[in-house]
Amino acid sequence: MNTDDFISLLATGVAPVDRHALTKRFAIAVLTGAVGATLIMAMLLGFRHDLADVALTPIFWSKIALPLCLLIGSLWMSTRLARPGGRAGGSRWWIAAPVVAVWLAGAFVLMNAPDGARLAIVLGRTWRVCPFAIALLSVPGFIAVFWALRGLAPTRLALSGAIGGLLAGSTATLAYCLHCPEMGIPFWGTWYLLGMLVPTVIGALLGPRVLRW
């Protein structure tokens, strides 16, 4: 068998690679996570009764901005890490910047608050349930994101799993904002981030096992 025949034999039955596979898989994952989290939130928690009114205020959109920026950053980083040898690149700043901004704004609020009111501002009224609710709402997105990553070729498995978990958590937090009555920046910077940290840590632990190929 000559070289040309050998190459032809190896190429027999090989289908072309879908160039848009990565985009399609992550689009499905994010959509599944968003729809799933919103449905669970609506069934178990319900939309806040004054959502239409509060949606007209800048502070509500500031609250939305935190998980939205983290969603964009984690999605960008996930698509980079889904390729063999992928690096985070500038996508990490989309994750770090909103966290730092919320912490700085929260610190400013607390410094200007009366001494006796600071703890109440951080705890709000729902600190006991907020992180657990976000973690619960992240389950559909977590499953969908890991499905997307499993069909690709990540090599930094723990990091890919962690960022995938953050993607699921930030998507869930967006849905949770439609229920959550808390409007204090220190609350978001503590309990929202803690809720998103849960799927992030779980993703880091499961990544090396689930994403191995």
pLDDT, tens digit (0-9, with 9 covering 90-100), for 60-116:
999 999 999 999 999 999 999 988 877 777 778 889 999 999 999 999 999 999 988
Place of tokens 């980083």: 77
Give tens-digit pLDDT for 151-196.
Answer: 888 889 999 999 999 999 999 999 999 999 999 999 999 999 999 9
So what's the pLDDT on residue 205? 97
List the one residue out of 159, 145, 187 whose CA is nearest residue 34: 145
Annotated domain spans of the chain = 33-210
pTM of the predicted protein model: 0.89
Cα maximum dimension of the chain: 86
Give the ranges where 82-192 is alpha helix by DSSP (H).
91-111, 118-123, 130-137, 139-150, 157-177, 185-187
